[in-house]
């Protein structure tokens, strides 16, 4: 690769790190309210909570459906909803991972306090 290409890649990575840091700061500044909002959302949508918790960065939508004993269409719907809300993102080849929101808010840990969700890993 040329020096110009490497410099451009470095510039892009620097920009991404800056955006990540800003996003983390904003989420932390509103953490209590945001966590409460998400817990309420998932308390009304147990299937979405199960799918969310089953997302591990390794499973595809089909594997999540099999793991949860749900129809693939139901899982695909929930994944699409979770992506549109910024809670998960497509990693590659149909494999999803949780967004940084999960680690910042410790959302998965909070959701697993519900006895219906505690065994989903």
- 116 inside domain: no
- 43 inside domain: yes
Task: Tell me the whole-structure pTM to 2 decimals.
Answer: 0.84
- 85 inside domain: yes
Flag whether pLDDT at 109 surpasses 90: yes
- 91 inside domain: yes
Number of domains in the chain: 1
- 52 inside domain: yes
Q: What pLDDT score does 1 carry? A: 82
Q: Which is higher by pLDDT, 46 or 114?
A: 46
Residue range 59-93, pLDDT digits in tens: 999 999 999 999 999 999 999 999 999 999 998 88
Over residues 84-112, mean pLDDT = 93
What residues make up the domain containing 57? 3-111
- 18 inside domain: yes
Q: What pLDDT score does 7 carry? A: 87
Q: Determine phi and psi for 91, rounding to 5 degrees.
A: -85, -65
**Sole residue written with tokens 């510039």:** 11
Q: Which is higher by pLDDT, 47 or 16?
A: 47
Tokens for 7, please give them. 């410099």
DSSP H stretches of helix in the chain: 3-29, 31-44, 46-54, 61-68, 72-84, 100-105, 107-111
Q: Residue 87 is part of a domain; what is its CATH number?
A: 1.10.10.10
Flag whether pLDDT at 47 surpasses 90: yes
Q: What pLDDT score does 104 carry? A: 93
């Amino acid at each position: 690769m040329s020096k110009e290409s490497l410099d451009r890649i470095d510039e892009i990575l620097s920009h991404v790190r800056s955006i990540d840091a800003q996003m983390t700061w904003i989420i932390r500044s509103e953490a209590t309210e945001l966590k409460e909002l998400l817990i309420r959302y998932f308390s009304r949508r147990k299937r979405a909570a199960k799918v969310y918790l089953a997302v591990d960065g390794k499973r595809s939508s089909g594997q999540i459906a099999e793991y949860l004993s749900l129809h693939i269409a139901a899982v695909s719907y929930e994944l699409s909803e979770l992506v549109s809300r910024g809670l998960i993102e497509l990693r590659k080849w149909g494999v999803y991972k949780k967004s940084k929101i999960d680690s910042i808010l410790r959302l998965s840990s909070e959701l697993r306090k519900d006895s219906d969700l505690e065994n989903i890993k």
